[in-house]
Amino acid sequence: MDPSLLLEQTLNGLQLGVMLFLLAAGLTLVFGIMDFINLAHGSFYMLGAYLTAWLVGWSEAFLPSLAGALVLTALVGLLVERLVARRLYAADHLYQVLATFGLILFFNELIRLLFGPQPIFLEPPAWLAGQLEIAGAPYPRIRIAIVLAGLMSGLLLWWLIGRTRLGMWIRAGADDRETIAALGVDIGLVFALVFALGAALAALAGAMAGTLVAVRIGMGEEILILTFVVIVIGGIGSVRGALVGALLVGLVDTYGRALLPDVLALVMERSVADAAGAAMASMAIYLLMAVVLALRPQGLLPARG
């Protein structure tokens, strides 16, 4: 393979990986700390993309619009936590799944009412347009910015959880919520802040994705499946595991789509190889998950033990 093409696909895999990490980090925090399955997490991803596109169209300022979209989505996350999630923390997971599935339908119809059924497009700012030369190969600036933004968000999340008092409360609440509540910490407030943080991270991923693909209703459900695969591979409740799992899934998916059709074309017709390669690439991440579960059922970097 051409080295420049390999570099391009590696960067594409990293870009997909950091977006999956932003989604998986919030989702794994909510599940690992609150034991709450939130199928509506993808709706925050969609909401962040729509709000960013709407605010950019209104203000024509990308970064302030992005910040506003993150804040608004975090507030929606707080509202969802207060009205829905908080009532179901002690309930069976089946009730959590049913309730959050209902939220998916609610948010899809809400977006349809507010923005219409047609996809909309989020143009990246002018200073992120064009390409940069990386090792002699041109690569879009916006994709580089997405990789850097995702890595910076990961560092900030590591600092928040590992180096701040709030992070200490979060870790303690994950281990023994009754004891930390008895010590005077408002565990309900901690849970609400974690839920809002997860919503904001999902919104950031959605806003970044909106600069590459059309912003449309249902976009959150499509990527949510990959997000759950990331969490299973990395280890439920582990942010470090989410990062490792997201990068693995991003690279495996990207390499599979780029390389498998060419490999299969050596032994079959090109049209058949393209179709078979795309199908096998979609299967590759699930095969990766199966191998990880067979060797390490708790995930690569579990939160405990």
CATH number at residue 241: 1.10.3470
- Single pTM value for the model: 0.92
**Mean pLDDT value of segment 35-61:** 92
pLDDT of 68 above 90: yes
Assess if residue 303 is contained within a domain: no
**Mean pLDDT value of segment 171-198:** 83
Assess if residue 300 is contained within a domain: no
User: Quick check: 33 and 237 in contact, CB under 8 A?
Assistant: yes
**Mean pLDDT value of segment 288-296:** 93
**Mean pLDDT value of segment 206-211:** 93
Assess if residue 129 is contained within a domain: no
Assess if residue 132 is contained within a domain: no
pLDDT at 52: 96
4 confidence band (pLDDT: 50, 70, 90): confident
**Mean pLDDT value of segment 14-24:** 92
Average pLDDT, the chain: 89
pLDDT of 258 above 80: yes
Total number of domains constituting the chain: 1
Distance CA 278, CA 270 (A): 12
Assess if residue 112 is contained within a domain: yes
pLDDT of 305 above 60: no
Residue span of the structural domain in which 175 resides: 7-124+138-295
Residue-wise pLDDT tens digits, 151-182:
999 899 889 888 888 888 887 777 777 788 78
Assess if residue 106 is contained within a domain: yes
pLDDT at 250: 93
pLDDT at 291: 93
pLDDT of 2 above 80: no
pLDDT at 135: 73
pLDDT at 126: 86
15 confidence band (pLDDT: 50, 70, 90): very high
Assess if residue 302 is contained within a domain: no
CA distances from 211 to 86, 151, 164, 304 (A): 34, 18, 33, 37
Residue-wise pLDDT tens digits, 91-120:
898 999 999 999 999 999 999 999 999 999
Residue 107 CB-half CA count within 13 A: 28
pLDDT at 1: 58
Assess if residue 130 is contained within a domain: no
30 confidence band (pLDDT: 50, 70, 90): confident
304 confidence band (pLDDT: 50, 70, 90): low
